[in-house]
Structure formats: C-alpha cells, structure tokens
Amino acid sequence: MAKGRNNLLGVGGQRKKLSRADQQGAGSARVADRKVAEDKKQELVRKMRERAEAQAATTTPADPAEQDTSAQS
C-alpha cells in the first residue's frame, strides 16, 4: 500500500476565489451581468430572424404562375 493513500490534498480541482460580498451572501453582480447579456443576445437573435423572414418574403414571388414556370424550366 502507498504511504500517501490518505493524503488527498489537491484532488478535485481548484476553488473559485470568493469576493468579500460573495462570502457574506450579498450575491454576485456577475450573475446579473450574465442575465443582461443573455437578454440582449435573445433580443438580437429575434431581430435578426424578423429581418431574415421579411427579406425572404420580399424575394419570393407572390404570383403562383411565376412559380409554375420556374419549376418547369
């Protein structure tokens, strides 16, 4: 048996350094910042989808007869 079997110092990775506010339970501003960033990202994705849908709607022909002739070619 190994002598250092009971010595598990350093096993399990490193812990994050907590700020004084985090240690006292005040919470982290980092969580709020992530929430705001996620909200901005979702809003940007929504706007991009709306623009893409509007552009796709304007580029597709509205007349069904035009669609039939292009399908036969």
60 Cβ contact list (under 8 Å, min separation 6): none
CA dihedral 7, 12, 17, 21 (to 10 degrees): -100
Measure the CA angle with vertex 40, ends 59 and 28; round to 5°: 165
pLDDT at site 8: 65
pLDDT in tens, 19-73: 777 777 766 677 788 899 999 999 999 999 999 999 998 887 655 565 555 556 5
pLDDT band at 10 (very low <50, low <70, confident <90, very high): low
| CA pair distance 41, 55, nearest whole angstrom | 21
Q: Are 52 and 58 in contact (CB under 8 A)?
A: no
pLDDT at site 55: 92
Structural domain boundaries in the chain: 26-58
Q: Is 0.75 topped by the overall pTM?
A: no
